[in-house]
Amino acid sequence: MIISMSKRMSRRTASPRSQPRNKQRKTFTLSPESVAFLEKLSANRADSRGRESVSAVLDDLLRAVVKNHDRQQIEEQIGKYYDQRSEEQVQEEIDWGTFATDEFVAIELSKSRA
């Protein structure tokens, strides 16, 4: 919270983007190509407040990698579930699918006749 003084006191809340988050300062050694890539992304993310920092760009890239990794793990778990089903479970799902399709067709036919 920022308090400013003029003829009267007023309270102003900082915008969510400018509020510090729990971040840790780290130093990394990167190749010139990586630095150039990050700086290019930073320049491309310019807005009315100026360009986004290289640090913020790197943080966004890392978050995207983590999100993609998490998504891949979920997809692998789903794949394992379907691969490990018994023949009985597969047949039951086929039967339910057939039943639902038949019901859907019957409902649509009754609508068209009405």
Q: What pTM did the predictor assign?
A: 0.56
Rg (CA), the chain: 28
The reply to whether 80 falls in a domain is yes
Residue 41, burial from CB neighbour count under 10 angstroms (0-12, 13-18, 19+): middle
Question: pLDDT value at position 1?
Answer: 46
Question: pLDDT value at position 89?
Answer: 96
Question: pLDDT value at position 108?
Answer: 92
Question: Per residue of the chain (114 residues), what is the pLDDT tens digit?
Answer: 454 445 454 455 555 555 567 889 999 999 999 999 999 999 998 776 778 899 999 999 999 999 999 999 999 999 999 999 999 999 999 999 999 999 999 999 888 887
91 vs 69: CA distance, rounded Å: 32
Helix, strand or coil, per DSSP, at residue 26: coil
Question: pLDDT value at position 23?
Answer: 86
At 8-21, the pLDDT tens digits run: 544 555 555 555 67
The reply to whether 81 falls in a domain is yes
Sorted by sequence, the CB contacts under 8 Å of residue 10 that are 6+ apart come out as 3, 4
DSSP state of 14: P
In angstroms, what CA-CA distances link 101 with 96, 98, 106, 108, 109? Answer: 9, 5, 9, 11, 12
The reply to whether 28 falls in a domain is no
Q: How many domains does the chain have?
A: 1
Domain span at residue 60 reads: 53-86
